[in-house]
Amino acid sequence: MRSRVRRASSAHSVVIDLLGHPEGVLEGGPLSAPMPKVVPPRTQGDVIAGLCTHLHRDHTDAGALAEALRPDGRVLHPASFGGDDHENLWTLQGDRELDERDLTRQPMGYWETVTIGPFTIAAVPAVDTLGDPQVSWAVEAGGKRVLHLGDSMFHGYWWRAAHRFGPFDAVLTPINGPTVCFPHCQPPSPYPASLDSRQAAVAARLLGAKVVVPMHYDGFHIDTFYHTQPDELPRFLDAASGETYEVAALEQGEHLTL
């Protein structure tokens, strides 16, 4: 399941890590893999903000954002760390395509907060496996608080995030914990590139989540470059079985009302 979520309040909605054209992720390169299924937002063309946890192409789909956003909508994403094209290899495509679509962009620094319509949106620090800028998005509206973890690795910001922006009615967490090997990040790390099942179960506990929505599983698998393990969801359900929070394992396109 890909990390696409819609948060609605009254007549307004935002999307996070919207993926509408997954074939573009590997377009123009030598790699190939089965593409995940995606569904468009119910408010297609009337979304007031598109939030990107980071600028990797599978989390920043400029074409899908252009279709989803209303004319005065904007794209929020983490601010750049600077550096040369070698350092930023995995963000160049997403960054370029946002400019090509002429989308209004608002870079956000760690802990920065903005209000858009009825939504209060905060950029919570996250850790990207390739060292690229990444945030988790804390979104509050209508008395409800949601935290979307993108595809962050395990880190130590959980308690501070819960203190500043909790309690969280729902936390959306990656669970697949792949290992990756990319040419510009050598030698490769043997550790999970995003939260695996056990790490996700613990992170949700530390965040004080009421409901946990597992995501970022049953997606890409590319031999040598992006290696995943089978039974990602069952392994997470087992890891979370003793926790006090509720797990909402949603089907593709299914919605959760908080």
Give 126-144 pLDDT, tens digit per residue.
999 999 999 999 999 999 9
pLDDT band at 8 (very low <50, low <70, confident <90, very high): low
Q: What is the pLDDT of residues 221-239, one digit of tens each?
A: 888 899 998 999 999 999 9
The pLDDT value recorded for residue 126 is 98
The pLDDT value recorded for residue 30 is 72
Gap between the Cα atoms of 5 and 17, Å rounded: 8
pLDDT band at 3 (very low <50, low <70, confident <90, very high): very low
Contacts of 125 (CB under 8 A, 6+ apart): 110, 111, 135, 136, 155, 157, 161
- Token pair listed for 199: 């790490």
pLDDT band at 5 (very low <50, low <70, confident <90, very high): very low
Q: What is the pLDDT of residues 163-212, one digit of tens each?
A: 999 999 999 999 999 999 998 999 999 999 999 999 999 999 999 999 99
Q: CB of 24 within 8 A of CB of 46?
A: no
pLDDT band at 33 (very low <50, low <70, confident <90, very high): confident
State which amino acid sits at residue 95: D
Q: What is the mean pLDDT of the chain?
A: 93
Beta strands in 58-216 (DSSP E): 69-78, 105-108, 113-116, 119-125, 135-141, 144-148, 170-174, 179-180, 211-215
What secondary structure letter does DSSP report for 218?
A: S
